[in-house]
Structure 1
Amino acid sequence: MVGHAVVVPYPGRGHINPMKHLAIKLASHGVSVTFVLTQTWHKIITQAEDDFFSHARKLGLDIRAGLIPDCVVGESQRWANMAAFFLSLSNMEAHVSDFILNLNRSGATPSCIVADTLLNWAVPLAKRHTLLSVSLWTTSVTNFSVIYHLGLDGAQGRRDNTPGVPLFKPTELPNGLFSPSPMGNSFAQCFINVKEADWVVANSFYALDCRAVEALRHKTPVQCVGPLNMPFAHWGHGKSVLQCSQWLDSKPARSVIYVSFGSFINVARAQVVEIATGLKQSGYCFIWALRPDAEASHVWEMLPPGFLEECKEQGLVEPWFRQEEILSHPSVGGFFSHCGWNAVMESVSAGIPMLGFPLAMEQFLNCKLVVEEWKFAVRGRSKEDENRVIAAEEIAVKVKTLMEGEESVRLRGVVKTFRELAKEEVANGMSASNLKLLADRLKAGKTPNKKIAEHVAI
């Protein structure tokens, strides 16, 4: 029997990308995949990725897009009204249910739903359709354990009751995580429903997240299947890299810092100016993925006057680059990042140390982990800095710490050790075993054998 997975990502780039990688890996193991997107998000993804669906099919993978109507708050409005966006996610349920019924009528009967943990309706929907359910947690197992224990075990902000997790401040959690509000209640329901999923998998690897994995083993086991972006597979050809490859090739090894703060939250205009000035003062070459904010039509409008002309030899600034390809170039030696989890995994995969500059949500906790727990990053911003603009001089110092001297050597050694551990887990280790076991069970239409699952996770 060939399993047919209906794969439903949470509608946001940071969630769609790891789900896309998981879908490709399941298809590589012989699972038939239908990747469900709203019409607008299908357009966004195929434009950015040169239609990875058709390219994957050319490579022999049984994967295709499935479209549902636009039914959630648009991406450009998401950060402006997160509560409305989060609540609108429930609108997807009826459309996905209808989509499954249509698949059944066409004879392409699915055997499981693979959905983002933050889609709280997905596990109950799978049960109503008598399908197996797989929940993908797109960030660290440590982060999962924090939310799981503080929400379901009733700790509610305590720092001393989170098994397998380093001490943290309540302020380092996302704002309003368990607040008595429609958004807080919806979020809490995600962690109630995920307990009923047949599998919970995470975009992480055991060597990094072992303490949290063990803390959850007898509660809600979470199996590591990442980093999902490894081994790096290019599903198209991007103009951005072609435009800058010659520039990168001309730079010495590990002499360029890559700067990106993700695809979701804009950095305040005043902070952008200080970052630009700090990069210039550091003397290091840089490539900066800078998206125009709502009031700008072009990136130059956000930068100090004359900056692009003055720094044309030192740096490149564009709205978007293919991040994995930039990080894997030998000239790149550091990653100035918001500490989104995809960025952390890509940093590890490339063996590149980080300068952490979190902006919101779980990024502050991620930054704490990479700086204090895993120790391959320099802290550039903390929760206490939320209402402060970090000055250019401070940024320049942090860039130099990341890129030169004894601390830089130490950071590089640590992250390269994690890279080798991740490569082994993805190739022949625990992530590979967990993924193969999952695919085999989906193809057989069986729920997990708990003893096997526990053995693989050890």
Structure 2
Amino acid sequence: MAHVVMFTFPAQGNASPILNLAELLALAGLHVTFINTENFHCRLLRHSPEHFARLSTLPRLRFRTVPDGLPKDHPRPILEFLNLERSLRTSSRDAYREILLNKDGNGWPPVTCVIADANLRLAYEFPEEMGFPVFFFRTTSAASFWAYHCIPDLLKAGEIPLSVDSDMDEMVENVRGMEKILRRRDLPSFCQRARTADDPFLLFAVGTADDTRSRAVLFNTFECLEAAALSLIRSVHQTTYAVGPLHSLLQGIGGTAGDTLSGLWEQDRSSVAWLDEQPHRSVVYVSFGSVAVVSEEQLAEFRVGLVDSGYRVLWVLRSDLMGSEKQGAPVWAGELEATGKMKVVGWAPQREVLGHPAVGCFLTHSGWNSTLESFAAGVPMVCWPFFADQQINSRFVEEVWGSGVDMKDVCSSEAVTRMMRAAMEGERAERMRLAAERLAEEARRSVGEGGSSRMEFLRLVEDIKGMTAKFSDDGRRCERDIKQL
């Protein structure tokens, strides 16, 4: 029997799609061990108890944790992910080895392969050393990954690092296949902020884009959405699976509600009750995801711009949206709610919100999970990217997919109002709405019976089942050799 170990980077945006895939594989008959850090898993359990209670009923899915090496009271800010990643590489190694050797097997079969979050080096480097086949899971869009893959070409051509006075609207020439799409301002944030070729964030991006050692690469996307980028990726990595949107695929195959992982914040369901009272397509939904940080000045511009637009607003204001040192909602949040045209919550059940008929557009940070969820719901977007791959996602939403507008590098109340109106009313809004509805239909087809993503998922399952576990009872390396790794 096949046994897959899956290891996620401890961040909500990474864990959510990988956990969806873990559930799908378990429902397909594979044994799945899902690894998370002790700290992050406890936080997920605290805020998503019903989600994990349901998962605990699956006999072929189990959870294991490893230490991250940081003090218990450490805040673990995700923007300092390089420190967390380095700590994991040293502190989690022994615990990870025990899981791979299946020493607490309790009747479970030996490990067949590892599906590793490609942002976590330990997740794939260590099993590779031990001889396990490794599949990389990419939590970004295929287009964003391809841009990461081309960073060495950008460096060689001298297109990066950028200087402080670079023309950010100049087109980028050395991301093959995207020469007429990407401007300098659309490059991943690591490329834009690096001033030297040895910038640690830039080197991290280059390192994690190296798929040469993986058996295959998995993307949470669908074929007709990113056919061009997937074709480019397959030119360098033939075995590439496009199995998304995973939350929609799970809903179809598993018969579950495809519920949202609450993650690090408790969902406020009063947001849905408030939407029930609003007219059709009258609400702007605003959420900058689980990582983005905005300044007090930027938040003030958004507040004025949203109020001046005249639309009803459902606004997710995380307690740490302005940074860990400024916890809690701004004092003006209650004043805006008193008008009856705005609802402010700390966290919302996003998929349910996006699927609500009262929602007319989504002001988003353009994280890939949020972008896919907006596609699946058929909701136009106003994109204000924060970092990493989000710059490319927002560009593609406007320039390639036509289902939204890109507001990157702009944060004035006038621009916010203008973008809201562009997405909510008039001919341009109608074009975006039609494009969003078309993408929603294509996403539904991809995960439906005979759809590309469903067929790719079934191919993945069969490929894993056909693999032979590296460590059988009569072929395992001796313990002495393993301890030397």
CA distance in 1, matches of 2:101, 2:221: 33
TM-score by length of 1: 0.87
Kindly indicate whether the alpha-carbon contact (under 8 Å) linking 1:79 and 1:265 is maintained by their aligned counterparts in 2.
no
Structure 2 residue 316 is the aligned partner of structure 1 residue 289: yes
1:438 corresponds to which of 460, 469, 473: 460
Flag structure 2 segments of 5+ consecutive residues without an equivalent. Answer: 161-171, 252-256, 470-485
CA distance in 2, matches of 1:205, 1:237: 21
More helix by share: 1
Deviation, structure 1 residue 86: 4.1
CA distance in 2, matches of 1:61, 1:254: 42
CA distance in 2, matches of 1:368, 1:242: 32
- The residue number in structure 2 matching 1:299 is 329
Deviation, structure 1 residue 42: 0.6
CA distance in 2, matches of 1:426, 1:72: 40
1:264 corresponds to which of 263, 266, 291: 291
| Residue type of the alignment partner of 1:64 | R
Decide whether aligned partners of structure 1 residues 349 and 211 sit closer, same or farther in structure 2, where only a CA change above 3 A counts. Answer: same
- The residue number in structure 1 matching 2:247 is 229
CA distance in 2, matches of 1:333, 1:77: 35
- 1:322-333 paired onto structure 2 within 5 Å: 322-333=349-360
- Equivalent residue pairs, number: 435
CA distance in 2, matches of 1:381, 1:190: 25
Structure 2 residue 177 is the aligned partner of structure 1 residue 164: yes
Kindly indicate whether the alpha-carbon contact (under 8 Å) linking 1:136 and 1:202 is maintained by their aligned counterparts in 2.
yes
- 1:404-415 paired onto structure 2 within 5 Å: 404-415=425-436
Deviation, structure 1 residue 80: 5.3
Deviation, structure 1 residue 374: 1.0
Kindly indicate whether the alpha-carbon contact (under 8 Å) linking 1:339 and 1:367 is maintained by their aligned counterparts in 2.
yes
SS at match of 2:453: helix
- The residue number in structure 2 matching 1:46 is 45
| Residue type of the alignment partner of 1:410 | R
SS at match of 1:206: coil
Deviation, structure 1 residue 297: 3.4
- The residue number in structure 2 matching 1:119 is 120
- The residue number in structure 2 matching 1:139 is 140
2:418 corresponds to which of 397, 406, 411: 397
- The residue number in structure 1 matching 2:224 is 207
Structure 2 residue 50 is the aligned partner of structure 1 residue 29: no
CA distance in 2, matches of 1:95, 1:422: 39
Deviation, structure 1 residue 70: 2.9
1:62 corresponds to which of 60, 63, 68: 60
Deviation, structure 1 residue 104: 6.5
Decide whether aligned partners of structure 1 residues 21 and 140 sit closer, same or farther in structure 2, where only a CA change above 3 A counts. Answer: same
- The residue number in structure 2 matching 1:450 is none
Higher mean C-alpha displacement, 151-160 vs 214-223? 151-160
Structure 2 residue 220 is the aligned partner of structure 1 residue 217: no
SS at match of 1:295: coil
Deviation, structure 1 residue 218: 2.7
| Residue type of the alignment partner of 1:441 | D
CA distance in 2, matches of 1:161, 1:330: 42
Q: Deviations over 1:302-323 (max 9, x none)?
A: x47x633543x11111111111
CA distance in 2, matches of 1:236, 1:191: 28
Aligned-pair Cα RMSD in Å: 2.6
- The residue number in structure 1 matching 2:87 is 88
CA distance in 1, matches of 2:364, 2:46: 24
- The residue number in structure 1 matching 2:306 is 279
Q: Deviations over 1:103-150 (max 9, x none)?
A: 476553221111111122333322333322111111111111111123
Q: Deviations over 1:408-435 (max 9, x none)?
A: 1110100111111111111222111111
Kindly indicate whether the alpha-carbon contact (under 8 Å) linking 2:151 and 2:206 is maintained by their aligned counterparts in 1.
no
Flag structure 1 segments of 5+ consecutive residues without an equivalent. Answer: 448-458
CA distance in 1, matches of 2:329, 2:50: 26
Decide whether aligned partners of structure 1 residues 185 and 358 sit closer, same or farther in structure 2, where only a CA change above 3 A counts. Answer: closer
| Residue type of the alignment partner of 1:307 | E
Decide whether aligned partners of structure 1 residues 68 and 121 sit closer, same or farther in structure 2, where only a CA change above 3 A counts. Answer: closer
SS at match of 1:26: helix
CA distance in 1, matches of 2:383, 2:431: 16
Decide whether aligned partners of structure 1 residues 341 and 155 sit closer, same or farther in structure 2, where only a CA change above 3 A counts. Answer: farther
Q: Deviations over 1:244-274 (max 9, x none)?
A: 3332111111111110001112111111112
Decide whether aligned partners of structure 1 residues 38 and 404 sit closer, same or farther in structure 2, where only a CA change above 3 A counts. Answer: same
1:363 corresponds to which of 385, 390, 413: 390
Kindly indicate whether the alpha-carbon contact (under 8 Å) linking 2:383 and 2:407 is maintained by their aligned counterparts in 1.
yes
Deviation, structure 1 residue 151: 2.6
Structure 2 residue 206 is the aligned partner of structure 1 residue 188: yes
Deviation, structure 1 residue 242: 3.5
| Residue type of the alignment partner of 1:187 | A
SS at match of 1:207: coil
CA distance in 1, matches of 2:70, 2:152: 26
CA distance in 2, matches of 1:216, 1:381: 26
CA distance in 1, matches of 2:247, 2:89: 28
2:444 corresponds to which of 420, 423, 443: 423
Deviation, structure 1 residue 18: 0.9
CA distance in 1, matches of 2:290, 2:55: 24
Deviation, structure 1 residue 368: 0.7
CA distance in 1, matches of 2:158, 2:42: 40
Kindly indicate whether the alpha-carbon contact (under 8 Å) linking 1:290 and 1:319 is maintained by their aligned counterparts in 2.
yes
Q: Percent identity?
A: 28
Decide whether aligned partners of structure 1 residues 157 and 80 sit closer, same or farther in structure 2, where only a CA change above 3 A counts. Answer: same
